[in-house]
């Protein structure tokens, strides 16, 4: 990459949103996809369950909309939900055209159909999947197409330090003009210009000690958009997946919600079921209810974990439906066809994010946000299972149409100021970064987790303020590194989560506080505006 590279569209992130957007654009635009690790290191790769869309004959768009609104606990934007659901079937058709190998089954008449499963919060079977590794199938298929396209450059092991804006460049009109990008191999920071910049960076699960997310999920897009002047909304709504495998070597391996959808039962250590005491839907209740129930029982009993049991189903059924989960559990000493497997909740999905409209447009001209990094109003106070990949696909398509419609009218950015590191030195205290990283994730888990109190949140706010000053001093004096960039972003996102949680004086959806256990009669979003 040259010192001053230019693209029509710079896409930051290489998951389902970024890859599909690139393919929609590339016939008419010069595109770069930025990945801070390998292109397949994002959260999409680990998505097991599937994509929700109305594909069954007995299902309806209205039903999918209604289920999403119910799960969102009064905070979904109904127009955005309708927009997303209506475009779902055509996005699935596009994936099939690309060659994604969705699981097929034959019915009693020998007719081959795509298999649809059901997950928590859904009233119908509407989750299309590729066995239990849907995300991997999508990334593998789309990445192969991306690698073959002459107009797409894939920049692996590159991480954005910050966005470049007209305001920061001393220009009159404020617009996103590109980004300062660290090449992790050469350790050099280069300015890259673009007519349009798209954040497809995913969520911020690594702000918590236990998470189902990969190591790259450090809230980078949310943090850099905030620093560039964009509003964020509903950051207090962090979804905790109820069932991650509990094992020191499992690295928070996710046990898909589809296991419960196919009859899996949650059990206490003594083998007794408990979900019916918390919700009449039992194991198929929305994730926030299931996660709180597990958290409650673990704390009540002092247990390190609870258990998920699907061994009552035939062994062939389990192995055929969940081959990857079955194999991974077996490697760690658990045969899910014969015994319950140990599980714990873990941070899974960031429902809030950078405010964006149905085309992915943010507060800053030229900057778009799609997928988990964004807040559109689709998820409300709680994301319904398998609506996340749907969101990536629908908004990647709508953003591409909006960008292509403007492409000829947006001039090439001016020459950008080079990255200045004349007043910094190499660090001799990298231990500060690792210690701050560890402290941040631990107090977020302890104080800003599944069940919150005002006192816990205030403790967390005090801790994050102290960390911020340390990190900013470190950032100002030493050359940037991948770990420092991620820590700086995580600390900012943690602050936004804490501030948002303190503002919400009720319990709603994923935000549950013992000090305000009731839900207010009027639902309102928590919107934070940066002071710039």
Catalytic residue list contains 287: yes
Residue 306 forms beta bridges with which residues?
Answer: 343
* Domains of the chain and any CATH numbers: 4-49+132-236+351-409 (3.50.50.60), 241-347 (3.90.700.10), 430-517 (1.20.58.100)
Residue of 360, 397, 399, 400 lying closest to 378 (CA atoms): 360
| DSSP notation for 409-439 | GSPPPPPPPPP--TT-B--S-HHHHHHHHHH
d(CA 135, CA 328): 16
Catalytic residue among 91, 118, 126, 287: 287
Give the pLDDT confidence score for residue 1 in this predicted structure: 46
368: its two tokens: 């778009």
Residue of 351, 233, 342 lying closest to 286 (CA atoms): 351
Looking up tokens 């629908």 gives 394
**219 φψ region: left (φ > 0), alpha (ψ -120 to 50), beta (else):** left
Give the pLDDT confidence score for residue 172 in this predicted structure: 73
d(CA 395, CA 358): 7
d(CA 512, CA 482): 34
pLDDT string in tens for the chain (532-residue length): 445 899 999 999 999 999 999 999 999 999 999 999 887 777 777 777 799 999 999 999 999 999 999 999 999 999 999 999 999 999 999 999 999 999 999 877 888 899 999 887 899 999 999 988 899 999 999 999 999 999 999 999 999 999 999 988 888 779 999 999 999 999 999 999 999 999 999 999 999 988 888 889 999 999 999 999 999 999 999 999 899 999 878 777 889 888 998 999 999 999 999 999 999 999 998 888 899 899 889 889 989 899 999 999 999 999 999 999 999 999 999 999 999 999 999 999 999 999 999 999 999 999 999 999 999 999 999 999 899 999 999 999 999 999 999 999 999 999 999 998 877 777 767 778 888 999 999 999 889 999 999 999 999 999 999 999 889 888 888 889 999 999 999 999 999 999 999 999 999 999 999 999 999 999 999 999 998 6
The CB density around residue 241, as the number of other CB atoms within 10 Å, is 26
Give the pLDDT confidence score for residue 428 in this predicted structure: 67
Whether the CB-CB separation of 225 and 360 falls below 8 Å is answered with: no
Cβ neighbours for 108, distance < 8 A, ≥ 6 positions apart? none
d(CA 48, CA 129): 8
468: its two tokens: 């911020």
d(CA 184, CA 202): 20
Cβ neighbours for 384, distance < 8 A, ≥ 6 positions apart? 52, 67, 68, 71, 72, 120, 121, 122, 286
Looking up tokens 């992790």 gives 184
The CB density around residue 168, as the number of other CB atoms within 10 Å, is 17
């Amino acid at each position: 990459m040259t010192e001053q590279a230019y693209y029509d569209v710079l896409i930051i992130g290489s998951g389902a949103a970024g890859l599909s957007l690139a393919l929609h654009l590339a016939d008419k635009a010069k595109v770069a996809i930025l990945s801070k690790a390998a292109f397949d290191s994002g959260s999409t790769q680990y998505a097991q369950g599937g994509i929700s869309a109305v594909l069954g004959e007995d299902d309806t768009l209205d039903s999918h909309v209604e289920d999403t609104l119910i799960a969102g606990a009064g905070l979904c934007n109904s127009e955005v939900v309708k927009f997303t659901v209506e475009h779902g079937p055509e996005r699935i058709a596009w994936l099939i055209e690309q060659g994604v190998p969705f699981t097929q089954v034959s019915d009693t008449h020998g007719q081959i159909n795509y298999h649809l499963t059901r997950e928590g919060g859904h009233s119908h079977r509407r989750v299309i999947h590729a066995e239990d590794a849907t995300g991997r199938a999508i990334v593998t298929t789309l990445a192969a197409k991306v690698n073959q396209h002459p107009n797409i450059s894939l920049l692996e092991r590159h991480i954005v330090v910050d966005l470049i804006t007209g305001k920061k460049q001393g220009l009159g009109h404020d617009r996103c003009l590109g980004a300062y990008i660290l090449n992790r191999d050469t350790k050099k920071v280069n300015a890259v210009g673009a007519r349009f910049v798209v954040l497809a960076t995913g969520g911020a699960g690594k702000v918590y000690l236990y998470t189902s997310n990969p190591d790259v999920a450090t809230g980078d897009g949310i943090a850099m958009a905030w620093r560039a002047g964009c509003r964020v909304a509903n950051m207090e709504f962090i979804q905790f997946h109820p069932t991650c495998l509990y094992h020191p070597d499992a690295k928070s391996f996710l046990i898909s919600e589809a296991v419960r959808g196919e009859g899996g039962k949650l059990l206490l250590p003594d083998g007794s079921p408990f979900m019916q005491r918390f919700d009449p839907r039992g194991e198929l209740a929305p994730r926030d209810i299931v996660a709180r129930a597990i958290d409650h029982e673990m704390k009540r009993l002092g247990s390190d974990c609870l258990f998920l049991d699907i061994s009552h189903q035939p062994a062939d059924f389990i192995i055929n439906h969940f081959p990857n989960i079955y194999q991974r559990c077996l490697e760690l000493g658990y045969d899910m066809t014969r015994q319950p497997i140990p599980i714990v909740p873990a941070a899974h999905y960031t429902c809030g994010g950078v405010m964006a409209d149905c085309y992915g447009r943010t507060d800053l001209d030229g900057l778009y946000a799609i997928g988990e990094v964004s807040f559109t109003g689709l998820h409300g106070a709680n994301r319904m299972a398998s609506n996340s990949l749907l969101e990536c696909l629908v908004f990647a398509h709508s953003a591409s149409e909006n960008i292509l419609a403007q492409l000829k009218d947006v001039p090439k950015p001016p020459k950008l100021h080079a990255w200045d590191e004349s007043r910094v030195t190499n660090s001799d205290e990298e231990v500060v970064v690792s210690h701050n990283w560890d402290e941040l994730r631990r107090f977020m888990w302890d104080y800003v987790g599944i069940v919150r109190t005002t006192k816990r949140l205030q403790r967390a706010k005090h801790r994050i303020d102290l960390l911020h000053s340390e990190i900013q001093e470190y950032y100002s004096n030493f050359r940037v590194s991948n770990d420092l960039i991620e820590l700086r972003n995580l600390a900012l996102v943690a602050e936004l989560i804490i501030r948002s949680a303190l503002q919400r004086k009720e319990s709603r959806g994923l935000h549950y506080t013992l000090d305000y256990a009731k839900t207010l009669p009027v639902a309102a979003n928590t919107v934070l505006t940066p002071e710039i």
